[in-house]
Structure 1
Amino acid sequence: MVLKESKLWFYLALVIAFAVLINLLSPILAPFIFGALLAYLGDPLIDRLETWKLSRGFAVACVFIVLVVIISLLILLLVPMLQSQIDGLIERAPEIGDWLDTTATQLGQYFGVNADAINFKTLAKEYLPEAGNATKDFVKAVFESGGALLSGIVFVTLTPVITFYLMRDWDDLVERIYDLIPRSMKATAANLAKESDSMVSAFLRGQFLVMTGLGTIYSVGLSFVGLQFALLVGFIAGVMSFIPYLGTAVGLILAGVLFVAQYQDWIALWKVALVFAVGQTIEGYLLTPLLVGDRIGLHPVAVIFAVLAGGQLFGFVGILLALPVSAVLAVVLRYVVKQYKESHLYNDEHVSTATPPD
């Protein structure tokens, strides 16, 4: 009994020490985490190519080149278009703020409420830069900040290198880690690792494709109904859709406000609602069942808490790790609950006759 307790405290100390180490090293961990995520995503494809009698090195080179090309195209094509829409939104912000002020005043008069406390037009002028200068000011700020510039250079330079080496040695690293596990725990660890891999891969691969699909559907649909900032709204809604219904809610509100401000037509809002209804239908009946399934098993509230807690504890690195770590913890927690329900503590002979609370 004492030996088991000492093991428990030893493992708890290891977890705490690891968390402290992550917190201390978080400023330099971003390229390693991105590299590990890309290597994790690419490893199954590399293994598939190896079954076609290709060498590991050649398979890694092929997958690595494809990843670099895809990411480079996304950056070269998507970023300028998004920046153009951001500049356009900043340019129209005072006009939209003026419309919001007028609408709030009218609604306040209708409901008998004083809506003059917030001046959206003033807020837009005060907190948003002038149109056309947003990109220039951002680039200038980056170059004037030596630390930010150095961090950016390190990230862009190291991430591809780390990704390549982790892809090449991924199977060996997994084998070495498995070899360090105590023999008495190998079977349990293997089962938990297999289930965790299923959940994490379902999120990282499947949910990323769902987010991309939703972002594309929203962007194309909103462009079709004539929204000026369709790409920006679709991008935001797609990125935020990893939290169920949050991306749809934020995108619908943002698109609705911008659409009415653009056309001054409340009745035509049904077009925006239709776009998001179609997107949700495609996600619910096609994208999520095919690409993700029911393997993640994280409640939406747990997802929100994980992201906020990760950001609070470890900053940007915590946000990156929040959902993969939560998926693994969910697997471990289910195992602990199963062990508890099979234990004598749960199956006590003295059965309570008390009724559970409502």
Structure 2
Amino acid sequence: MTLRNQVLIWIAFLVALSLLVWLFRGILLPFVVGAALAYLLNPLVNQMQRWHFSRGWATAVVLLTVITVVLGLFFMLVPLVGQQVVGLVQRLPGYAADLQALARRWAPELNQWLGPERAAQVEATVTDLLGRMVGIVAVVSGEIVSSGMTVLSAIGFAIFTPVVAFYLLLDWEGMVRGLQGLLPRDHRSEINDILGDINSSMAGVIRGQGGVVLIDMAYYATALSLVGLNFGLAIGLIAGFLSFVPFLGFTLGFGLSMGIAFVQFGDNWVLIAVVFAIYMIGQFIEGNVLYPKLVGSSININPVWLMFALLAFGALFGFVGLLLAVPLAAIGAVLIRFGVAKYKASTLYLGHNGGSGGDPV
């Protein structure tokens, strides 16, 4: 088979797969989450097998333990977090008005420090940013409410996701052997190398990035609650959860926290500085400790490419697309790097002289 026909077959396969995901996007959520959960827990099941547990018992013990922990956290945190999120959304316009009042109160000092024209520009910019932030939160809240799961679909998700994860974990080794048996024999070694790179990248995304998100959520929620910031638990959880999107989690959490701190603490600059320090310390730990230790260089995705993938897959496939965006971006990055390496080794790039001759461009 010629290279051209191979490329056409792979393109047709990807187009068909994308079409199937788009057609069935409404029912894919438990399968996507179940597959991610199975991939995440497979190393634990393998470890228990090395301790002489059968595959079935190891799968059942690991999955039941995870379900118990998740349900415990759900019943402990969801009522409190839900109240804080609702209260934050309702109180946000009031905070915006309070911040504008503070800006007007500080206007004489700003005029004296910056001059009338620059002070007016600063005040206009702050007012515009506050308006945009309130508008964004309102739109996001409306989208969440309008696209939220009904009680019936939530029950279905809670039931089907563990079932999908259980059966995938139970037959994980068999599925891997089956896929290995389908690989073209002439290219099996090369494809296995690519799959190894994809596995490393996926481990960085799901296990490494997931660990960073959980630690960020716990840190910001705990620190902001201890300092006494209004809605600190909800803001910390939101900032930590969105930290997988470059700059979004930090920017949103920092903006909300500092705005509320100025209104709540008034002239207590010590507490305002503490809130500021919480985010600076969090960013330092995330960038210099968590990412190098948990993620490393396994993802190797440009932040611009990651943000594009989130927006594109979210627009095409909805919430399921958002869940698939980062793993698929990691897979796409591996395949693009492989394609570039093959191109640089081809005569199209090197020329018939193998790159040793030719006129410089």
| TM-score where L is the length of structure 2 | 0.85
Cα separation, partners in 2 of 1:108 and 1:67, compared to 1, 3 Å: same
1:330, CA displacement in angstroms? 1.0
Q: Deviations over 1:284-313 (max 9, x none)?
A: 232222211111101111111111111011
1:245 pairs with 2:247: yes
Deviation at 1:347, TM superposition (A): 1.5
* 1:338 pairs with 2:341: yes
CA distance in 2, matches of 1:206, 1:117: 39
1:343 and 1:271 mapped to 2: Cα distance?
A: 57
8 Å CA contact 1:219–1:235 kept in 2: the answer is yes
Aligned 8 A contact 1:341 1:347 in 2: yes
Mapping for residues 248-287 of structure 1, pairs under 5 Å: 248-265=250-267, 267-268=269-270, 269-287=272-290
Specify the alignment match of 1:88 in structure 2. Answer: 87
Contact 2:99 2:262 in 1 (8 A): no
Residue of 146, 155, 158 corresponding to 1:156: 158
The CA distance in 2 between the partners of 1:91 and 1:5, in whole Å, is 58
Aligned residues: 338
Question: Partner amino acid for 1:353?
Answer: P
List alignment gaps of at least 5 residues for structure 2.
112-118
Letter in 2 for 1:86: V
1:321 aligns with 2:320: no
Partner of residue 293 from structure 1, selected from 281, 284, 296 = 296
How far did 1:336 drift? 0.9
Q: Is the 8 A contact 1:39 1:164 kept in 2?
A: yes
Amino acid at match of 1:302: W
Q: How many Å separate the matches in 2 of 1:16 and 1:80?
A: 42
**Cα distance 1:12–1:88, how it changes in 2: closer, same or farther (>3 A)?**
closer
C-alpha contact (below 8 Å) 1:101/1:119 kept by paired residues: no
- Kept in 1: contact 2:313–2:322 (CA 8 A): yes
Give 1:60's aligned amino acid: T
Report the equivalent of 2:205. Answer: 203
What SS does the aligned partner of 2:280 have?
helix
Residue 60 of structure 2 corresponds to 61
For residue 77 of structure 1, what is the aligned residue in structure 2? 76
CA-to-aligned-CA distance 1:295-334 (integer Å, 9 cap, x gap): 1101111111111111011111111111111111111111
Distance 1:343 1:233, change over 3 A: same
Q: Which moved more, 1:185-194 or 1:24-33?
A: 185-194
| SS, match of residue 284 in structure 2 | helix
- Between the two proteins, what is the percent identity of the paired residues? 34
Q: CA shift at 1:89, angstroms?
A: 2.4
2:216 is aligned to 214
2:360 is aligned to 353
Instruction: Assess, with a 3 A threshold, how the Cα gap between structure 1 residues 289 and 160 changes in structure 2: closer, same or farther.
Output: same
More displaced stretch, 61-70 vs 20-29: 61-70
**Secondary structure, aligned partner of 1:226:** coil
- What does residue 112 of structure 1 align with? 120
Q: Which runs of 4+ in 1 moved over 4 A?
A: 104-110, 113-121
Deviations 1:33-69 (A, max 9, x none): 0110101111111111111111111110111111111
Question: Does structure 2 conserve the Cα–Cα contact (< 8 Å) formed by 1:85 and 1:232?
Answer: yes
Query: Whole-Å Cα distance in 1 between the matches of residues 14 and 20 of structure 2?
Result: 10
- For 1:319, the aligned partner's letter is L
Q: Which moved more, 1:277-286 or 1:161-170?
A: 277-286
Residues 138-189 of structure 1, C-alpha deviation per residue, up to 9 Å, x if partnerless?
A: 7xx99xx9x8333223212211111111110111112112211211221111
Taking the aligned partners of 2:193 and 2:205, their CA distance within structure 1 comes to 19
- 2:38 and 2:129 map into 1 onto residues whose CA distance is 49
Does 2:41 match 1:42? yes
Cα distance in 1, alignment partners of residues 243 and 20 from structure 2: 31
Which secondary structure does the structure 2 equivalent of 1:265 belong to? coil
Do 1:46 and 1:59's aligned partners in 2 also have CA atoms closer than 8 Å? Answer: yes
Q: How far did 1:106 drift?
A: 5.4
**Alpha-carbon spacing, 1:149–1:338, altered in 2? closer, same or farther (3 Å):** same
* Mapped partners of 2:223, 2:10: distance in 1: 51
Q: Provide the C-alpha distance between the structure 1 equivalents of 2:310 and 2:359, rounded to a whole number of angstroms.
A: 39
CA contact (8 A) 1:233 1:254 kept: yes
RMSD, matched Cα:
2.9
Provide the C-alpha distance between the structure 1 equivalents of 2:223 and 2:330, rounded to a whole number of angstroms: 33
2:213–2:243 Cα contact (<8 Å) kept: yes
Structure 1 pair 94–286 and aligned structure 2 pair: CA distance change class (3 A): closer
Q: Secondary structure at the match of 1:298?
A: coil
> What residue number does 2:114 align with?
none
**TM-score w.r.t. length of structure 1:** 0.85
Q: Secondary structure at the match of 1:9?
A: helix
State the Cα deviation string for residues 172-208 of structure 1 (Å, max 9, x = none). 1121122112112211111111111111111111111
Distance (Å, rounded) in 2 between the aligned partners of 1:62 and 1:243 = 33
Q: Which residue of 1 aligns with 2:116?
A: none
CA contact (8 A) 1:298 1:330 kept: yes
- For 2:128 and 2:2, the matched residues in 1 are separated by 64
Any idea what SS the aligned residue of 2:57 has?
Answer: helix
